[in-house]
Amino acid sequence: MTTIKLHNTKTRKKEVFTPIDPENVRMYVCGPTVYDRAHIGNARPVVVFDVLYRLLRHVYGADHVTYVRNFTDVDDKINARAKESGREIGEITAETTQWYLDDMRALGAMDPNEMPRATAYIPQMIAMIEKLIADDFAYAKDGHVLFRVRAYKHYGALSGRSVDDMIAGARVEVAPYKEDPMDFVLWKPSSEDLPGWDSPWGRGRPGWHIECSAMAKDLLGETFDIHGGGNDLQFPHHENEVAQSCCASGHAEDGGGFANYWLHNEMLQVEGKKMSKSLGNFFTVHDLLEQGVPGEVIRFVFLSTDYRKPMNWTENKRAQAERTLRKWRALCRGVTPQEEMPPRFLEALCDDLNFGSAMYFLRVYAKEGQAAALLRGAQLIGLLTDEMGGWDEAPDFDLSNYEILLANTRAKAMETKDFSEVDRLKAALVAAGVEVRMSKAGVELLPAAGFDPAKLEGLL
């Protein structure tokens, strides 16, 4: 059996992955809150854990892996979106859920085995909350139910923080219904204009954290193999999941149960800066797809950085990814993937999803002309598949006159040292979806993704 090693946030070290039951390997990954389009940062964990899902299926068999990723469809952000738009909440969540699925599928992500919606698991959440109250790990006050953080002595173990440090360094809600500032909400009351369900504590709705605990238990059992998500979820979301799940399952003393392995991917930047609407560098997956960036190219860029390192999305990386994929697809056209998985590639991927090493070996196979090996390895991580193809087929359009124009303009600029017209022509070509290559040998223009000949009108 192939050995997989994973860096376990729970123990802060790389460990050999040993599933509870090799016949039923189980993984839960926190999914989106569906109130708007997914930005590219939201897509990174999808691609990361899609690769892990594919690897687990390869090692243990497709029928022996269960992957669950939830949809949070009850949330204050959704309520606010409904109020400002005048639309029904169910209409908004149905639309945004489909947007998410369409965009992630465009990146080559396989659908998980289960994609539960939080609103379908309210009874399970209520039952878990009742159990926590009965065992004195939670309390009800003023229509709220809160978890007693200090009743769980292992709180903070996942994120490596002490409760006192958290209080000193975090912004915590001070409310009259809290016994302790760190206690977090399991259930809260709903006014008539908000979604709500009947409960022993009155009409209300669940807090954010309880939903994942309830859905994971119902679909994967009280103890399962892997829990994953972005690094930003480690605290408080995952920390709170651990606390309430362990206490509800009788593991308050030993801190065991729930997930055996925790994996977290690092965050994403754009051109070296944190993605922010105020900086003008915020964009969604849909934005990129609408601009003609192929989903396979986006996926390639994501897989060019190891998942535990911050990822920097740049226009240069996008262009390089597109060029590489075009070469790889041309090399593999008409080729059948070899039966055996390339051993060096597989070994790299099994070493805590070492994307850097895995992609290095794919480049080696391409350089050496080993198309069958390249295709076999690439398809395991969701690249060079038939479903992701087609975008690399160049449009039938003659760019030779534009090459001559740019070459002549460039030659003139070399004499006058004024390259403003060269820059203008190049910018216009790029805006039309043309890849511009200039070297000592000359000028070469290639139609790229999103090529629009209409945008070239007036250049000649």
* Tens digit of each residue's pLDDT (9 = 90 or more) over 337-367: 999 999 999 999 999 999 999 999 999 999 9
Mean pLDDT of the chain: 94
> Range(s) for CATH 3.40.50.620 in the chain?
5-265
pLDDT confidence tier of residue 229, bands split at 50, 70 and 90: very high
The pLDDT-based confidence of 161 (bands split at 50, 70, 90) is confident
- Write down the number of H helices and E strands in the chain: 15, 15
Q: Which pTM was predicted?
A: 0.87
Return the half-sphere exposure (C-beta side, CA atoms, 13 A cut-off) of residue 264. Answer: 21
pLDDT at 169 over 60: no
Reported as a pLDDT band with limits 50, 70 and 90, residue 166 is low
Residue 343's Cα: distance from chain center in Å? 27
381 has a pLDDT exceeding 70: yes
Look at the block and give the residue holding tokens 């198309």: 371
Q: How far apart are CA 105 and CA 102, in angstroms?
A: 5
What burial class does residue 159 get, using C-beta atoms within 10 Å of its C-beta: 0-12 exposed, 13-18 middle, 19+ buried?
middle
- For the domain spanning 292-388, the CATH number is 1.20.120
The CATH classification number of 5-265 equals 3.40.50.620
For residue 447, the SS3 value is strand
* pLDDT above 60: residue 220: yes
Candidates 103, 20, 55; CA nearest to 380 is 55
Residue pair 395/447 in contact by the 8 Å Cβ criterion: yes
Residue-wise pLDDT tens digits, 237-279: 999 999 999 999 999 999 888 999 999 999 999 999 988 888 8
Q: Where in the chain is the domain with CATH 1.20.120?
A: 292-388
Task: Summarize the confidence of residues 93-116 as an average pLDDT.
Answer: 98
The CA distance from 375 to 333, in Å, is 10
Give the DSSP letter of residue 238: I
Residues 6+ apart with CB under 8 A from 131: 248
pLDDT band for position 172 (cuts 50, 70, 90)? low
pLDDT tier at 449, thresholds 50, 70, 90: low
pLDDT greater than 70 at residue 173: no
In this prediction, residue 1 carries a pLDDT of 75
Beta strand residue intervals within 256-352, DSSP E: 258-265, 268-270, 273-274, 311-313
Question: What residue has token string 């994971």?
Answer: 216
Distances (CA, A) of 42 to 53, 217, 228, 303, 445: 18, 24, 13, 15, 34
Q: What is the pLDDT of residues 39-90, one digit of tens each?
A: 999 999 999 999 999 999 999 999 999 999 999 999 999 999 998 999 999 9
- The amino acid sitting at 321 is A
